[in-house]
A and B are shown apart, each in its own frame.
Chain A
């Protein structure tokens, strides 16, 4: 997989109603080839608009967007380069799923469209859907058929919008397995509200809020995994001042009675040493500990966005 970005957004904006609504505003980031990249943000953050621009469904008002070096708005630019799972596109009724996938395979110019269609359906655990019509499928089955069409022909880029929404846990895990399998071989962009899923799947992510890029970086960086950890307290009095005096510690607080948050400078003391030193001190002071977790949950990072003013993008790691 080459180091050239598979997807590159340079100062991309998309306005509606003559600029009254700025769904995406001056967003720049790049997704290197072979990476699994997440698009994160609350409702109205601009995730779907960004996603739609990558798929060529919408054109940017300003800025430049490239997918595999091509402008997605250019006729035929995405053919065989991109597999897309659109979030809310209905599968056409009145034809068999097998026929539909074979038709799309032919349209993509795949050499063996029927075989590709069958293999994709099998990959999604739906070989029996071949002879069914889309209106006969449950929501979950329809989602997996839509996912199967995106996988056909193993395109170099996969754009997946909410790939597991509405799926039961077992099927969702299967879909995640397929995405995991694609990582490294294909560039995968996942837009999802399921932050736990994104933490699990993605190498890097972009956090969007109200159309602006808030932060882009590795999941570890976004969750401050290497600069913060949390200790769940069972009982005892936490010696906050003593903790703050530890080497490398930059802050300690108790946002809840049972939750200790410690910030530290990883350059001064590595994670494992900082956590061990903290636990030793707590145990020495008679504090009972239930567990330790590194960093914040991605969910907490998103919740922090809340009413905070939209800031300039903080690029944690350049690509």
Chain B
């Protein structure tokens, strides 16, 4: 029970320290500002499209109702591109305003960087000035790692909650048809998905923070790692896309699909290396698919934390 008590004490204390610090308030403000910017840009784009449609309707005659099937088709195609073409998933979020989904996707894209900024100094910030020496005579190094990780994850879950509440409220204000029940469901889905998604990236920042004595070096390394994961993911996705395209072209020509090259196959596997690859299923209506994705994120988090502990356990303090 003692390790569990240690983790609980460190978790509570570190969370309290984080909440009280100006850093948490600044980061929340940054996150809100960034989300507001994403919403504002979308509002501008949607309004421009709406104005354009209205002008066309005024010029050529016709009504908005007549255009509804085309608008739905465009929306469907856009969601397919945004969420990976899973029909069940697209169907389940038909009632959700586009602005919520797009903003959610954008925030997921930048959440890892945000997490790196929040958590880069969680361990290295104690090793550099050696304040960790006050902790290691009182608690196991594993408890310190877990306590710090959980406090960062909790802080992030709180920040995401505030931002997601704000997002659905803004969406409701802009889209009166966005009903309360759908609103609550959307908020819950987005919040749980973003929190599960964050677990692995918080663990990655814990690992990067365990590797170095200097918080600045931890931050740089964390961001470089994120860039590396993004690049690897993009290379993998491009290779997979290329293989699909080749097969489609062959099919269009009425030929048999060529066997994918070995290089393209190996490169396509790279997309599975990045945790971000598994994010779409976090919104999936089928519980098992959601659970599968959650398990993968938990697996990434466990692997990163295990590496972080292996480093911290052997480290001279």
Binding site for B on A (CB under 8 A): 52, 55-59, 75-76, 78-79, 82-84, 86, 88-92, 94-95, 103-104, 106-109, 149
Q: How far is the CA of A52 from the CA of B131 in the complex (A)?
A: 14
Q: How far is the CA of A95 from the CA of B132 in the complex (A)?
A: 16
* CB contact between A76 and one of B10, B21, B140 (< 8 Å): that residue: B140
Chain B 106-136: CB-based contact to A (< 8 A → 1; otherwise 0): 0000000000000000000010011111111
State the Cβ distance, B214 to closest chain A Cβ, in Å: 14
Give chain B's interface secondary structure class: helix
State the Cβ distance, A52 to closest chain B Cβ, in Å: 8
Tally the A-B contacts, defined by beta carbons under 8 Å: 74
Q: How far is the CA of A106 from the CA of B16 in the complex (A)?
A: 15
Q: How far is the CA of A78 from the CA of B136 in the complex (A)?
A: 9
Query: Are the CB atoms of A56 and B129 closer together than 8 Å?
Result: no
Query: Are the CB atoms of A58 and B316 closer together than 8 Å?
Result: yes
Q: How far is the CA of A107 from the CA of B8 in the complex (A)?
A: 9
CB contacts under 8 Å to A, within B1-21, are 2-3, 5-6, 9-10, 13, 17, 20-21
Q: How far is the CA of A76 from the CA of B132 in the complex (A)?
A: 14
Residues of A within 8 A of B6 (CB): 107
Query: Are the CB atoms of A90 and B140 closer together than 8 Å?
Result: no
State the Cβ distance, B242 to closest chain A Cβ, in Å: 47
Query: Are the CB atoms of A89 and B141 closer together than 8 Å?
Result: no
Residues of B within 8 A of A92 (CB): 17, 126, 131, 134
Asked if B35 lies at the interface with its beta carbon under 8 angstroms from chain A, I say no
Query: Are the CB atoms of B129 and A89 closer together than 8 Å?
Result: yes
Query: Are the CB atoms of A107 and B138 closer together than 8 Å?
Result: yes
Q: How far is the CA of A70 from the CA of B142 in the complex (A)?
A: 18
Query: Are the CB atoms of A104 and B316 closer together than 8 Å?
Result: no
Q: How far is the CA of A95 from the CA of B317 in the complex (A)?
A: 23
Given known contacts A89-B133, A90-B131, A92-B131, is B139 in contact with A107 (CB within 8 Å)? yes
Closest B residue to A95 by CB, please name it: B17
Closest A residue to B8 by CB, please name it: A106
* CB contact between B5 and one of A59, A86, A109 (< 8 Å): that residue: A109
Give the interface residue-count category, chain B.
20 to 34
State the Cβ distance, A277 to closest chain B Cβ, in Å: 53
Query: Are the CB atoms of B20 and A149 closer together than 8 Å?
Result: no
Residues of B within 8 A of A82 (CB): 137
State the Cβ distance, B310 to closest chain A Cβ, in Å: 13
Query: Are the CB atoms of B130 and A79 closer together than 8 Å?
Result: no
Q: How far is the CA of A95 from the CA of B134 in the complex (A)?
A: 15
Chain B 35-71: CB-based contact to A (< 8 A → 1; otherwise 0): 0000000000000000000000000000000000000
Residues of B within 8 A of A84 (CB): 133-134, 137
Chain B 262-274: CB-based contact to A (< 8 A → 1; otherwise 0): 0000000000000
Residues of B within 8 A of A75 (CB): 140-142
Query: Are the CB atoms of B129 and A94 closer together than 8 Å?
Result: no
Given known contacts A94-B17, A94-B21, A107-B6, is B141 in contact with A79 (CB within 8 Å)? no
State the Cβ distance, B14 to closest chain A Cβ, in Å: 9
State the Cβ distance, B127 to closest chain A Cβ, in Å: 11
Residues of A within 8 A of B135 (CB): 104, 107
- Of B10, B129, B134, B136, chain A has the most CB atoms within 10 Å of the CB of B134
A55-B133, A59-B314, A94-B17 provided; 7 other pairs, C-beta below 8 A? A57-B317, A75-B140, A76-B3, A79-B137, A89-B129, A89-B133, A109-B2
Query: Are the CB atoms of B134 and A104 closer together than 8 Å?
Result: yes
* CB contact between A104 and one of B17, B132, B138 (< 8 Å): that residue: B138
- Of A57, A91, A108, chain B has the most CB atoms within 10 Å of the CB of A57
Residues of A within 8 A of B9 (CB): 103, 106-107
Q: How far is the CA of A84 from the CA of B130 in the complex (A)?
A: 13
Residues of B within 8 A of A56 (CB): 136-137
Given known contacts A94-B17, A108-B138, is B133 in contact with A57 (CB within 8 Å)? yes
Residues of B within 8 A of A59 (CB): 314, 316
Query: Are the CB atoms of A90 and B2 closer together than 8 Å?
Result: no
Nearest 5 pairs between A and B by C-beta?
A: A90-B129, A89-B130, A75-B140, A57-B317, A107-B138
Closest B residue to A74 by CB, please name it: B140
Residues of B within 8 A of A108 (CB): 138
State the Cβ distance, B274 to closest chain A Cβ, in Å: 33
